[in-house]
Amino acid sequence: MMPTAKHASLSGNLVLLGFGSIGQAMLPLLFRHIEMNPGQVKVIAADEDGKEIANALGVNFTVQALTEGNYQTVLESCLSKGDFLLNLSVDVSSLALIQFCWRRGVLYLDTCIEPWAGRYTDRSASLSQRSNYALREEILAFRLDKRAGPTAIVTNGANPGLASIFVKQALLQIAADNDVAVEKPTCYEDWAELSMRLGIKVIHIAERDTQISGQRKQRDEFVNTWSVVGFVSEGLQPSELGWGSHERHWPLDAGRHGFGSDAAIYLNRPGAATRVRSWTPLEGSYQGFLITHGESISIADHLTLRKNGDVVYRPTVHYAYHPCDDAVLSLHELAGKNWRLQRKKRIMRDEITEGTDELGVLLMGNEKGVFWYGSRLTIEEARQMAPYNTATSLQVVAGVLGGIVWALRNPSAGAVEPDDIDYETVLEIATPYLGELVGVYGDWTPLRDRSPLFAEDMDRDDPWQFINFRVV
Ligand code: NAD
């Protein structure tokens, strides 16, 4: 059934920056669930994609690419105290926008910490500077002395975003299934303590997208179910993972950043060329890409326990992404061309004929087995619930909607991550759009059914070592 409840109201203006696959998917839900009218909204994007959708919904549409040189002038003319900047663009610095919003008393939300165009592939920058770890540390440094103030939620889509919330829900479920009595955790240390007690050593953000269309990928074309530019950018950043305290085998191509929380490491290779073994209940075992993502770092950081300054507990956390089949073919072609992006780009939407986005978190190490908790959303369900959506985009905008509602109800929370905010509110708002929200146990491990045909470097004493997941 189509959800219709109004969750909050906005009296000021809202600028929707970026109107690609996620912006278009989001706009109708804004009017459905927030008390506001189309006259309050202005879309700003770098191209005309989706203009007819904005027009059909009565929303003003301006084509204007923001740059370091013009963003303040452009935004000053349309945002002031009490307004909202919803950033669903690529190539615009999240930090610059947050600083701008802070000064003007504007609320802010994005789904990814973006830098200005060019930093991801800047050859004069170190691997560390091109990482999501560094981008996150810049936000954390900004907020050091600004704990209260206009709310700015970073990285709040599905993943990053709902993934942090799924982890909390999964931990509580595993605790209940193990008869571990827990008080409701109230701070990071409580969650970390619970995760340690339950024996969790590894957390994957385990996603298998099976959406397909009759229109196959052409040669020299990159096809995906969300931003091609966004996916290729993150795929060409160094692979990154939250580095667990149980790990005994240091990857030869790994580096530490040498500043900040030290919760994560990077590999000297792009995520688009780094495969890992993982598991989801519908797909079973699969090989996904270890693409860098904000949640790998923030979840690992928030689940760290220290004693006398030393880390005594942290799980290994990373993405294991099996994108839609045409995106896998696209990545293969991209790698063959030495990472030179294809001439044509296509985000599949209306042409999708079938498929499901199975997106959740896989918690490993508890004696009951691995536990996957997340959303299984089919393309048919997504279309029934919201126009201009795919299964992928609807999971993302469900998280965005939850974040917007939380920000409107908590307008002076300062800069926060999904791990910092009230997971129950966000989950309650998002759930009607997530299809089947399930927790499933399995007996899979990365050592299971490994082929004996070739010798492999493995640690058979502890299945949860990163060395056992990584495909070399
Ligand atoms: P898209 O490529 O379809 O659209 C990008 C939009 O940004 C376009 O409207 C484009 O015109 C606009 N844009 C590009 N450069 C700009 C500039 N300089 N100034 C203003 N606008 C500019 O992307 P999408 O699929 O809609 O994704 C949007 C964002 O959401 C990306 O950052 C992506 O990484 C993120 N995302 C997050 C999640 C999540 O779950 N957290 C999932 C999917 C996408």
Predicted model pTM: 0.98
* Mean pLDDT along residues 393-416: 98
**CB 291 near ligand 1, within 6 Å:** no
**CB 419 near ligand 1, within 6 Å:** no
DSSP string for residues in 257-291: -SSTT--EEEEEEEGGG-EEEEEETTTEEEEEE--
Query: What ligand 1 atom has the least distance to the C-alpha of 158?
Result: 40
Confidence of residue 465 (pLDDT cuts 50, 70, 90): very high
Q: Are 442 and 372 in contact (CB under 8 A)?
A: yes
**CB 89 near ligand 1, within 6 Å:** yes
| C-alpha distances out from residue 407 to 22, 39, 266, 424, Å | 19, 21, 32, 14
Nearest by Cα to 17 from 110, 102, 101, 152: 110
pLDDT digit string, tens, across residues 144-182 = 988 889 999 999 999 999 999 999 999 999 999 999 988
Query: What ligand 1 atom has the least distance to the C-alpha of 234?
Result: 34
Query: What ligand 1 atom has the least distance to the C-alpha of 156?
Result: 41
Contacts of 141 (CB under 8 A, 6+ apart): none
pLDDT digit string, tens, across residues 5-52 = 999 999 999 999 999 999 999 999 999 999 999 999 999 999 999 999
Alpha helix ranges (H) inside 250-369: 294-302, 325-336
Measured in Å, how far apart are the chain's first and last C-alpha atoms? 45
* Mean pLDDT along residues 56-84: 97
Query: What ligand 1 atom has the least distance to the C-alpha of 114?
Result: 32
Tokens of 352: 């999708």
pLDDT digit string, tens, across residues 191-212 = 999 999 999 999 999 999 999 9
pLDDT(1) > 80: no
* Mean pLDDT along residues 230-258: 98
Distance 397 CA to ligand 1 centre (A): 12
pLDDT digit string, tens, across residues 326-337 = 999 999 999 999
**CB 230 near ligand 1, within 6 Å:** yes
What is 162-397+433-471's CATH number?
3.30.360.30
**CB 408 near ligand 1, within 6 Å:** no
Instruction: Please give the pLDDT value at position 68.
Output: 97
pLDDT digit string, tens, across residues 97-152 = 999 999 999 999 999 999 999 999 888 999 999 999 999 999 999 999 888 899 99
Query: What share of the chain in percent tops pLDDT 90?
Result: 96
Q: Are 266 and 239 in contact (CB under 8 A)?
A: yes
Instruction: Please give the pLDDT value at position 147.
Output: 80
Instruction: Please give the pLDDT value at position 127.
Output: 96
Query: What ligand 1 atom has the least distance to the C-alpha of 161?
Result: 41
What is 8-153's CATH number?
3.40.50.720
Instruction: Please give the pLDDT value at position 130.
Output: 97
What average pLDDT does the structure give for the chain? 97
**What is the C-alpha to C-alpha distance for residues 418 and 414, in angstroms, rounded to an integer?**
13
Instruction: Please give the pLDDT value at position 3.
Output: 87
Q: Where are the domains of the chain?
A: 8-153, 162-397+433-471
**CB 46 near ligand 1, within 6 Å:** yes
* Mean pLDDT along residues 261-278: 98
